[in-house]
């Protein structure tokens, strides 16, 4: 943000150290979870989590007997599907809101917000009946649809704000060059708001990944996401701390890895001179 390259010490003081502080705050609990997950469970309460007698037994149990790999796969399918459905529906809708003025625009945008204002938990019963009637209970599709409806309103609003940041003149330039609206969208606007798309995609992925209520109600034996699997480790009389923390650690990894992979695209500069014909 500041322009001339600052000296390294200055950079360390103003950037690295604060960043480190924030990361300590961010990762502290996560590391605590990690230590708990590799601690010896029999001394967990008497001595507290510790690295002595570290064991990866919880992780092996997690995959072997709890069947966490299947859960990860289910979560991944649902989250991935939601990203695809959610993004495709919201990008076109957002373009429409961003570029056009038409009757009912305000109402429609507010309608999308309204949907997210209602406590979802009360919608479970009607949704459950709907899915049962459609014969979609315990399928990935049911979860993808349900999660998409939660994700779409937010995504539309976010994409609108990103698209508003791209001057309309660019669209118009493209159209005078002979593109249709849709082509202008595809060739000009989308590449330029790629960071926004990535951010929105991440948002949809994470929201769907962490979703519990719908996954529990609409899922079942065939579709069991990690959020549901992790909840089964909280029993009536016992919390399986080792397995639970292991599940939490593993559960956070896919989103993190995904983000690591796409974060470069998040920072694609606009400065490369937009549309040059």
Give the footprint of another protein on residues 144-183 (CB under 8 A): 145-146, 148-150, 152-154, 156-158, 160-162, 164-166, 178-181, 183
Please say whether the beta carbons of 158 and 152 come within 8 A: no
Quick check: 4 binds another protein (CB under 8 A)? yes
Tell which positions 215-234 bind another protein, by CB under 8 A: 216-217, 220-221, 226-228, 230-234
Least separation, in Å, of the C-beta of 172 and another protein?
A: 14
Record the tokens describing residue 218, joined without a space.
């609409």
Q: Which of 39, 97, 188, 204 binds another protein (CB under 8 A)?
A: 97
Closer by beta carbon to another protein, 18 or else 54: 18
Does the footprint of another protein cover residue 73 (CB under 8 A)?
Answer: no
Binding residues for another protein, total number by CB under 8 A:
143
> Which stretches within the chain are classed as H helix?
8-11, 17-37, 57-64, 68-99, 105-117, 124-133, 140-164, 168-176, 181-184, 190-192, 194-209, 213-218, 226-231, 241-266
What is the C-alpha radius of gyration for the chain, rounded to an integer number of angstroms? 23
Please state the φ and ψ torsions of residue 168, each to the nearest 5 degrees. -65, -25
Taking the complex as a whole, the smallest distance from the CB of residue 203 to another protein amounts, in Å, to: 7
Binders in 183-212 for another protein, by CB under 8 A: 183, 193, 195-196, 198-199, 202-203, 206, 209-210, 212
CB 226 within 8 A of CB 76: no
Min dist. Cβ of residue 107 to another protein (A): 9
Closest CA to 185 of 273, 85, 263, 88: 88
Spatial CA neighbour of 189 closest among 203, 200, 175 = 175
CB of 166 to another protein, least distance (A): 7
């Amino acid at each position: 943000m500041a322009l001339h390259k600052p000296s390294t010490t200055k950079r360390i003081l103003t950037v690295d150290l604060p960043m480190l502080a924030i990361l300590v705050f961010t990762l502290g609990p996560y590391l605590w979870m990690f230590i708990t997950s590799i601690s010896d469970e029999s001394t967990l309460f008497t001595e507290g989590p510790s690295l002595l007698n570290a064991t990866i037994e919880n992780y092996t149990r997690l995959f072997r007997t709890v069947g966490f790999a299947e859960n990860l796969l289910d979560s991944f399918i649902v989250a991935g599907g939601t990203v695809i459905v959610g993004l495709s529906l919201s990008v076109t809708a957002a373009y429409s809101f961003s570029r056009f003025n038409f009757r009912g625009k305000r109402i429609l945008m507010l309608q999308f917000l309204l949907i997210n204002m209602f406590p979802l938990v009360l919608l479970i019963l009607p949704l459950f009946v709907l899915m049962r009637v459609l014969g979609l209970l315990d399928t990935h599709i049911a979860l993808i649809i349900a999660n998409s409806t939660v994700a779409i309103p937010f995504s539309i609003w976010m994409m609108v704000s990103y698209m508003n940041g791209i001057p309309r003149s660019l669209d118009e330039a493209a159209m005078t060059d002979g593109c249709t609206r849709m082509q202008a969208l595809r060739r000009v606007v989308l590449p330029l708001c790629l960071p926004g798309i990535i951010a929105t995609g991440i948002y949809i992925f994470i929201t769907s990944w962490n979703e519990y209520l719908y996954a529990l109600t609409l899922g079942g034996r065939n579709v069991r996401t990690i959020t549901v699997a992790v909840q089964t480790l909280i029993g009536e009389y016992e919390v399986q701390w080792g397995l639970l923390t292991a599940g939490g650690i593993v559960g956070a990894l896919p989103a993190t890895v995904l983000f690591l992979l796409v974060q470069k695209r998040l920072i694609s500069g606009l400065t490369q001179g937009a549309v040059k014909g």
